[in-house]
Amino acid sequence: MAMKEAPSTSAEVETPQAESEDVSEYNYNPEPVERLNKPLNTSPGAVKLRTWLNKSFRIEMTDGRVLIGVFLCTDRDANIILGSCSEYLPHSINGKPANEEPRMLGLVMIPGKHIVPDCVYHPQT
């Protein structure tokens, strides 16, 4: 009687050979330093925006909410980013007094279309 060979209990594992990794794709070529040394935009609007950076702002929204936070950024669509922002509800919602305690939001982006015109305020500090 011929003996059958027992199946191997150890699986043969192929180990991939170490390939030499092409690191050229990881080399970072930063933009020339000359671009970083360009003078800042000195238009009146740009100068005013720079004075607003990191200042406290109070923004009223079209739904009545008020957001108070630190002005960080804006864009051409009048969207505003506030940091360390708190939300205050309107004084009354459906005839009931609103909760007076603010809600901490942190970092927020407020679409320009939801900002009430002429209701953006920052104290002169």
Q: Structural domains in the chain?
A: 65-125 (2.30.30)
Q: Tell me whether strands 80-88 and 115-121 are parallel, antiparallel or unpaired.
A: unpaired
Query: Token digits for 32?
Result: 């020339």
The pLDDT, as a whole number, for residue 40 is: 83
Question: What local confidence, expressed as pLDDT, does residue 39 receive?
Answer: 81
Taking only the tens place, the pLDDT of each residue in 55-65 is 999 999 999 99
Which range among 25-29, 82-86, 117-121 shows the weakest confidence by mean pLDDT? 25-29
Tokens 């050229």 belong to which residue? 24
Residue in the structure block whose two tokens are 């509800």: 89
Query: What would the pLDDT profile of 83-97 be if each residue is shown by its tens digit?
Result: 999 999 987 555 666
Q: What is the pLDDT of residue 125?
A: 53
- In three-state secondary structure terms, 112 is helix
